[in-house]
Each structure stands twice: as C-alpha cells, then as structure tokens.
Amino acid sequence: MDLWKLYEMMLRSRLFEESVTRIWNEGFISGEMHLGIGEEGIVAGIVDNLEEGDAMALDHRGTPPMVMRGIPLTSLLKEFMGFKDGLCGGKGGHMHLFSREKAMVSSGILGSSGPAAAGFALAAQYQKAGSLAVAFFGEGTMNQGMLLESMNLAVAWGLPVIFVCKDNKMAISTVSSSVTGGNLLERAASFGMDSYEIDGSDVEICWETARQAAADSRKKKVPSYIHAHCFRREGHFLGDPLLRISKNPLKEIGGIAGSLLKSSVKLKGASVSGRAGSMKTIFSIVGKTARDQIIRPRDPIAVTREKLNKDKQRLENIESRVKAEIDLAVNACSKQGTRGKG
C-alpha cells in the first residue's frame, strides 16, 4: 500500500469536485449535482486494488471512481457541462456515465449497480479469467429488490463481485434507520458472503479490506460485501435544502414557515396528532443535519494528510501539482465556451 498515492488519488477527486461545485454554482452545469465529497477514502481503497479488465458499476455519485480510475478530467467536465465532446457526447450529465475502455458505467437508478456488476462478473467468468466487478451504492439502496436479487445470484453462481455500501445514515432526506429493518451487515452476510464493516474515513483500512475482498473474488470466485461508514459533506446534492436550513436557519425557515403553518391548520387531512408527528419529524431531521455539520465526522483527506504531515515539502509538491492539473482542465473547458450544446 502506497499512502502517498492514495492521498493523491483522493485529493485529485476532491479538488475536481470542488471545481465542479463552483462551476455549478455559476450556472454552467444544468440540473442536480450529486458529489462524492467525503467518500474518497472508500473509493480510493477499492480502486487502487483493481487491475486492468476489472469493471465498476457506479451509482449517481460516479465522479470520484471515474477520476481515480483515470478518466480524463476534461472529458468528465465537458460531459457535465453538456459539450458534444464530453465523455458521453454531453447527453449523460454527471449521473449517466459510461467508459468502454475502463469498463465503467453509472446510473441514477437506485439499485441498478447491483445487476450491472453481476453482469460484468458473469461476463468475466467466460471472457476475463481473474477479473472482478465492483458495485457502489448507498445504504438506502439496500432496500431495493434488484440489488438484493443481485447479491443472491452472485452467491448462487459464484460471481466475483465486491458489493460496496457507502453508509452516511441518510436516504436522501430520510434517516435511514427509520425505514430500514435489521442490520445491513447481517443482511448481506445472510446470503453467504464474507461481510466487512469499516470506517470509510480511514483509507488504509479501506485499502486492506478491499485487498482481501479482491483476492477472494479473483482466487475463490466468490462475492463479498463491504459496509463503509462515511459523512457526505455537501448533503444529498448541491443546494440540499436540509443543509441550507442547518447553515442559515433564520433565513431559510422564513421561506417555508408559511407553507408549514398553512398545512398544519388546514381543516382537511391528517389528524392533529398526525400533523404534530410530521412536524416533529421534519424538525428532528433538520436538527440532525445541523448537529452533523457541527460535529463534522472525520474527513478521509484530512485524516490521511495528518499521517503524511512529517514530509511537508512532499505534501506541498503533490498539492500544487494536483491543483495545477485541475486548473488546466477547468481552463480548457472555459476556453471552449460557457455552455455546451449536447
């Protein structure tokens, strides 16, 4: 394991997504933007254990794996901006990405990474001996039938798949524990897979766990499950209303207070106790979001940087080089025009 390499992989993804954030805020990227900021330790640990011929099925946060697997930054950014020479002709945006060369595909359909990864792994059994597939998804997706069916088939057919669950304890705007029964690690293990629960902010732990899972997939031809805890620093998407309210409660609450009050006193509808319960749930979720922002669980990049901090000059060299690379990609897209025509 090369911790310096892992740090550079994570940093490149972080700085790229921070640039994407700025461009989105300026209005040059249309639609929603789901970032993987906070998930870099999980992704780097997995990607660094992949070999040529391995495949990845991604969720709607596919940018970090794409960046770390070597997809050109300009190709990704042009895709997000809608340029015809983007990765997918400017038609996929940031959620629906595809690279034939790297055997990578992403989708905005929750749970679809399971069947896609199982398909990649089934193909590998016939065409690419020793190759494996990875499926990335969130913990809310563990309640999707097609993902569970994929796990079942992967075990039954001996498919070399690593199922990676990125758990931030929130399913969009719903606290995951309120809609999920049982223990997800035990749920995955019940299929007969080796299952691991790890701290996603520690890239070394992520790397070691991925190494074991990858070795089992290649040699034993069996699937495995990794449940990695993380903190999504930008909420579900850029402009997440829960995040806006938690950061500026007085300003943001004012915009929705009227609607909440109107719905709570409406003659028709739920009972008084039912409405009170709903209001309690809303403010409970807002409170949780605010607490998370104050506590700020460990950042994988900050954690790794602290471990490498003894060699400050090497850190500065890496950070300067990566920043220059990101700036070059952003400038190349800026020169092409302000908005794509995909």
Same-domain pairing of 194 and 291: no
What is the secondary structure of 247-280 as a DSSP string? HSHHHHHHHHHHHHHHHHS-SSSS-HHHHHHHHH
Same-domain pairing of 314 and 329: yes
Residue 341 lies in a domain: no
Q: Which residue has the higher pLDDT, 251 or 5?
A: 5
Residue 164 lies in a domain: yes
* CATH code for position 44: 3.40.50.970
Please write the tens of the pLDDT for every residue from 204-237: 999 999 999 999 999 999 999 999 999 988 888 8
- C-alpha–C-alpha distance, residues 197 and 320, integer Å: 34
- Say how many domains are in the chain: 2
Same-domain pairing of 290 and 210: no
Residue 313 lies in a domain: yes
SS3 content of the chain, % helix, strand, coil (to 5): 55, 10, 35
Enclosing domain of residue 30 = 3-233+298-336
Note the Cα 266 to chain centre separation in Å.
40
- 199 SS3 class: strand
Please write the tens of the pLDDT for every residue from 201-211: 999 999 999 99
Please write the tens of the pLDDT for every residue from 31-62: 899 999 999 999 999 999 999 999 999 999 99
**Global pTM value:** 0.88
Same-domain pairing of 167 and 220: yes
Q: HSE of 37 in the Cβ direction (CA atoms, 13 Å)?
A: 19
Same-domain pairing of 34 and 102: yes
Same-domain pairing of 182 and 85: yes
